[in-house]
Structure 1
């Protein structure tokens, strides 16, 4: 009975749908994660972005597992466990399949590091969280190489739009940080009033105290 279900299950459609959906959800998760760091994101909007950033990333991870399991039971071109778990060992599209495996591992590290953020500390959490970028890029290239629909005009537009969107919002966030930097350094002039200087020292002391508390956790 189980074999009959596997033989007649439209596995190829599941592979395509789950792969595309996982990619789009990862795009949404990465985009929202970057967007919540913009100065305009405050209060409820920032909290909502964070919630959806977490949800979409976890959904992408879950669909990635479904995508891999369907590849394993596919009756047309099945993958072995070693081909799926060891990068660049697949007999079909080894480079593209390997990038998909690396993306899966990178996303797993990002999710685990988020759950262990208090134990890792902010510094190491940021290091691990930056793997979201290579994980997204690997999945983008994986879809373009191995996807049977990658030659479709609509899919090409989707890949171009999502890739450029991540690049654009990353550059925008970087420019916002550079613009914020000079505003801090402008205050270091001789005409600065005493209350402002005291306030700056108070803020610096607060940051230092917060750093010590972070290391003690």
Structure 2
């Protein structure tokens, strides 16, 4: 029964649809993640972007698993487990398939690091989270190289648009941060903060001065 279902499943359509949908969802997640980190993103819009950034990234991962598992049961050109799990070992499009495998592993690291953010600390979380960029680029080239419909004009426009969009919003975020500018102090500060002892004696002198003025009156 199970074999009959596999034989009559439209596996090729599932592979292409799940692959394209996973890529578009990842693009949405990466784009929203960059956008919600901009200085101008605040309040409810920032919270909404973060929520959908998380949701679309997890959905991309789920569809990526569907894409990979369907490749295994595909009756036209099935992949072995080793071809799916070991990068660059596939007999068909080894480079493109390897990039897809590495990107899926990278996405797992990004998602796990987000869940473990409090334990990892901001520094390590940020380092792992930056894998989102190579993951996105890897899936972009994976789709362009292995996709049977990558020669279609609309598909090419989709890859160009999504790639330039991520590049553009990354540059814009960097420019906005640079325009805000860091706080820079050159040389020692001329106004040194008073110590607790100095503040205490200053208060005593002030009270003594006030008492002397009252006595003169």
TM-score range, shorter-chain basis?
0.7 to 0.9
Q: How many residues align?
A: 192
Alpha-carbon separation, structure 2, partners of 1:94 and 1:102? 12
In the other structure, the counterpart of 1:207 is none
3-state SS of 2:78 partner: coil
- Provide TM-score, normalisation by structure 1: 0.85
Computing the radius of gyration from Cα coordinates, the structure with the larger value is 2
For residues 150-200 of structure 1, give each alpha carbon's deviation from its aligned partner in whole angstroms, at most 9, with x where no partner exists. 000000000000000000000011111111115x34xx59xx997xx98xx
Q: TM-score, normalised by structure 2?
A: 0.85
In the alignment, is residue 59 of structure 1 matched against residue 59 of structure 2?
yes
- Residue 11 (structure 1) shift: 0.2
- Return the offset for 1:72: 0.4
- Which whole-Å CA distance do the structure 2 matches of 1:30 and 1:149 have between them? 24
Pairing 1:1-217 to 2, within 5 Å after superposition: 1-181=1-181, 184-185=183-184
Task: List 4+ stretches of structure 1 deviating above 3 A.
Answer: none
Distance in 1 between residues matched to 2:87 and 2:113, nearest whole Å: 22
Q: Distance in 1 between matches of 2:142 and 2:156?
A: 13
For residues 67 and 118 of structure 1, the distance between their equivalents in structure 2, rounded to whole angstroms, comes to: 31
- In structure 1, what is the Cα distance between the partners aligned to 2:88 and 2:190? 62
CA distance in 2, matches of 1:5, 1:127: 43
Gapped runs of 5+ residues in structure 1?
199-217
